[in-house]
Structure 1
């Protein structure tokens, strides 16, 4: 469904694809790779060009071209940002399927897309529900969110998350929400940095994406893994307005902000 969630892109993706067990520990989060990562001190993403390609409803070929073009923008923007910050960078890759299949060692589930740390690639399920009305920014935001997981992978955040201990399911779910909400914030950072280049888009387009996001999240699912829709929208908009990873430190945010 269109309102299934922008973050349905990775239903427990970082947890399930890692294959890493967690041990017991206490809060707050104390791993400095998570709480004080160099990423937060890299400054704003500089404005860059990113022209959207045409995409029509239920047109798989056009959707592939559209998403590949967005990925190219993401690689250019984040690649230049990492270079200025003196951080190592590797481009992300993208793949497409039209039917769910096992990926990166796990069954597909109900996700729209999934990033695989080991492959540094995300796979997008181009099914009828995703392509029924691609006129909004949903596809753009989907790619930007998955790339947020790539940024987490490159900066060691993904590995630190994989190994971080938890005492119970409640703590595990909160850690997963921090991971997912950070990826959403990073997607907002990118979208904000290229917003002026999206000349066909208006404030209403952004508000529509926020509304889609508010009508998504854990309220639509039994798994408390991505956050409530209103919180997802808050982190997305926060990144968009700041265009800097500095505001995306979900690991030091209060529990209520990642609920």
Structure 2
């Protein structure tokens, strides 16, 4: 899920909220989460993904823009997965202009996009908030973040996360934050691998990081996505490495995923 207008958001974690287990869950020990082959498979290969034109408050141009980014993501991760001998299937994208139920659940109050693992598809809410100023990197990273959840799904991390035991709401929310921050890092890794093909400057990236720092759980009060500074830190970490290797949030100290 990605939250709007300032911050990034989540895969479907509703199964977790039902309380699937009661045992103590710390530290995270599931090797699917902590030692996944994804972390050992090198960098995403540099490639090209020139951005399409997009107009303010224009849904058709937004659809073309976001679909073109998805196509780049599918191409890039397909090549990466083949080289690393990881499972792969393309993700799909859909668009809505008003919130509605998706993947069996209500649309969140601050949600801009959300991924459904069962469908291998994510929906993006093309509303006035999202399309008011579409020229910054938020939309690009929006798709990259949701694709991060797709990668988690393909590598079985999403399932491991959904079924991992927890004891109490506080512990559950930390696990959700680890999952969300990992998707943010994976999105950053993709953007970093394509950066040289984008008609962007370092100031554009710094602006996205500054916007991210001013968002997060401080804004939504949900406690399930991380403080703005931590979201920005994982985003930038993935971007600079252009590799999933740095995106193991499951073994990170609690302070880094608060």
What TM-score range do you get, normalising by the shorter chain? over 0.9
Conserved 8 A contact 1:17-1:104: no
Q: Which whole-Å deviations, capped at 9, do the CAs of 1:178-202 have from their partners, x for residues lacking one?
A: 000000000000000000000x200
| Alpha carbons of structure 1 residues 156 and 20: separation in structure 2 relative to 1, 3 Å | farther
What is residue 7 of structure 1 aligned with on the other side? 8
Tell me how far 1:25 sits from its aligned partner.
Answer: 2.3
- Consecutive unaligned residues of structure 2, counting only runs of 5 or more, are none
**Residue correspondence of structure 1 range 150-165 to structure 2 within 5 A:** 150-165=150-165
Tell me how far 1:173 sits from its aligned partner.
Answer: 0.2
Conserved 8 A contact 2:177-2:225: yes
**Residue correspondence of structure 1 range 207-222 to structure 2 within 5 A:** 207-222=206-221
Tell me how far 1:16 sits from its aligned partner.
Answer: 1.9
Q: Which whole-Å deviations, capped at 9, do the CAs of 1:11-54 have from their partners, x for residues lacking one?
A: xx431267864212221000000000010011000101101000
Distance in 2, Cα, partners of 1:17 & 1:23: 11
**Residue correspondence of structure 1 range 1-259 to structure 2 within 5 A:** 4-8=5-9, 10=10, 13-16=11-14, 21-26=19-24, 27-110=26-109, 111-198=111-198, 200-259=199-258
Distance in 2, Cα, partners of 1:136 & 1:5: 12
Distance in 1, Cα, partners of 2:102 & 2:253: 33
Distance in 1, Cα, partners of 2:15 & 2:130: 23
Conserved 8 A contact 2:216-2:226: yes
| Alpha carbons of structure 1 residues 234 and 72: separation in structure 2 relative to 1, 3 Å | same
20-29 or 232-241, which deviates more: 20-29
Conserved 8 A contact 2:5-2:129: no
TM-score (norm 2): 0.96
Distance in 2, Cα, partners of 1:230 & 1:144: 19
**Matched position secondary structure for 1:104:** coil
- Consecutive unaligned residues of structure 1, counting only runs of 5 or more, are none
Tell me how far 1:221 sits from its aligned partner.
Answer: 1.4
| Count of residues in correspondence between the two structures | 254
